[in-house]
Structure 1
């Protein structure tokens, strides 16, 4: 697996496909890139190069806690650097849930690097902000306050990160608990601030400022409600709505595999991608 040293960390990545326009896809949550391989393979077969990567604190990525910016902005900066490293900028950029948030922030911070957006399972609303703030930050704050950084190593997510990248064991042990708590509180406050926004991570004015082509495929649970996707599609001028006959479900969270199958999703995305002007990249 290739690894790029960028922005003070090492980013594992994979490029699927060897010709055509560049697409960058990011998964949701803090999940690793492996779950996107089937979808990326289907899209690459349509004539594209798809780059996937493990973000900081995800998959085989390195543990890296830094409060110079909100966590999702740091992820956006890392993907921007990776696209430049690969000579893949500007790219078609998209993702699911937190990966969708990353994509929006990349487009807002570095619009010159984004040809088009693929926005899927968009997260928004007070319920989502409260649920994710607890899952991503409050739970870890409680663990470290009660048992220090050693307690964090017993958490299922961090155990998985250490298995995927054994060097993360030392990184976790060497990190100062007080600094970790400060960073988690800062990242949590940023996410909670999104409760009043149309989508976590972006204001109405910011969404209206986006001018690149975009498609929106909504989620169907309370963390990714359909009406949040509808609002985003209304605010991004000229964006394309792809409902795929999805219906709102009475569930806090629906796993990716229960939301939509890869074959259907790839078919819909490829149909949208074919409407974009080609760059002539080879």
Structure 2
């Protein structure tokens, strides 16, 4: 896969399609661009006349691990800015779900000149959703480094998977300064503590004033604690040029996917398998602009 270097780290990417406006499609969590369910959506968008850029963000897939910035999403936004600048793409459409929605919103806030349209779904928010992110993505590594130093990071399953995808990551992890890693992790963890005036983690609500592009929001499911319906409605209120629609998948799609994964049925129903159902709504939104 092609790669470019941004802020001292390799970023792996892929562009699907031969012509049309470019959509940057970003998944959630620390999942790679190969997470099941993402490529079918990308291919449906290509069939609709667009090019699609898939990328492994720092700490995802085959890209290099990196640790800097106010939050992990701030780092990803800066990385995407660097990637698109090196590629010389010009303004693009940003589309993302879950953590990818947050990354896309923040990129639009910080680099509005890069974005023509914004598409968001599965927006994380609420006490449960934000605490869950901090507990899953920050605390385990923070606790390991406090006990063992950064030499302990390559022992962790999460980082072992990234080392398998990119062997350079082992030395990059070992080379980190333990004290600096703890400081950064505490800063990233603090972003996931719910605060008044922050509808999405680590981002002040006033930042939403910077989003001036046409925006499509697919609201969260009625009982989805990770991506609350309420958060989607609040983001809709904060983004002036936004359109809110009901999800094109079942209201309980996320809960059923979590249930399947907990019962060991992940190969039957991946958490992102339903995302392809958003393709017609995304294409219609982009076609109507």
Normalized against structure 2, the TM-score is what? 0.87
| Aligned partners of 2:253 and 2:274 also within 8 Å | no
| Aligned partners of 1:75 and 1:102 also within 8 Å | yes
Q: Once the two structures are superposed, what CA deviation does each residue of 1:178-235 show, in whole Å capped at 9, x if it has no partner?
A: 2211211111112325575222243332224421100011233211111111111122
User: Which residue of structure 2 aligns with residue 115 of structure 1?
Assistant: 116
Q: CA deviation at 1:21?
A: 0.4
User: Which residue of structure 1 aligns with residue 264 of structure 2?
Assistant: none
| Aligned partners of 2:22 and 2:52 also within 8 Å | yes
Superposition pairs of residues 107-146 of structure 1, within 5 angstroms: 107-146=108-147
Q: CA deviation at 1:132?
A: 0.9
Distance 1:144 1:74 in 2: 21
User: Which residue of structure 2 aligns with residue 10 of structure 1?
Assistant: 10
Q: CA deviation at 1:170?
A: 1.3
Q: Once the two structures are superposed, what CA deviation does each residue of 1:229-255 show, in whole Å capped at 9, x if it has no partner?
A: 111112212311121364268959848
Superposition pairs of residues 65-214 of structure 1, within 5 angstroms: 65-66=67-68, 68-192=69-193, 197-214=198-215
Normalized against structure 1, the TM-score is what? 0.89
| Aligned partners of 2:118 and 2:216 also within 8 Å | yes
Distance 1:193 1:241 in 2: 24
Distance 1:188 1:122 in 2: 18
Distance 2:175 2:110 in 1: 32
Partner of 2:174, secondary structure, is: helix
Q: Once the two structures are superposed, what CA deviation does each residue of 1:27-78 show, in whole Å capped at 9, x if it has no partner?
A: 1001111122221111111111111111111111101122x43221111011
| Aligned partners of 1:226 and 1:248 also within 8 Å | no
Q: Which runs of 5+ in 2 are unaligned?
A: 262-268
Distance 2:211 2:76 in 1: 19
Distance 1:151 1:88 in 2: 39
Partner of 2:201, secondary structure, is: coil
| Aligned partners of 1:162 and 1:168 also within 8 Å | yes
Distance 2:173 2:162 in 1: 10
Corresponding position: 1:273 with 2:276: no
User: Which residue of structure 2 aligns with residue 32 of structure 1?
Assistant: 32
Distance 2:8 2:228 in 1: 36
Partner of 1:116, secondary structure, is: strand
Sort the Cα spacing of 1:7 and 1:259 in 2 relative to 1 into closer, same or farther, 3 A: closer
Corresponding position: 1:61 with 2:67: no
| Aligned partners of 1:126 and 1:195 also within 8 Å | no
Match of 2:53 among 44, 51, 54: 51
Which 10-residue stretch deviates more, 53-62 or 262-271? 262-271
Q: CA deviation at 1:119?
A: 0.8
| Aligned partners of 1:128 and 1:195 also within 8 Å | no
Sort the Cα spacing of 1:52 and 1:244 in 2 relative to 1 into closer, same or farther, 3 A: same
Sort the Cα spacing of 1:201 and 1:93 in 2 relative to 1 into closer, same or farther, 3 A: farther
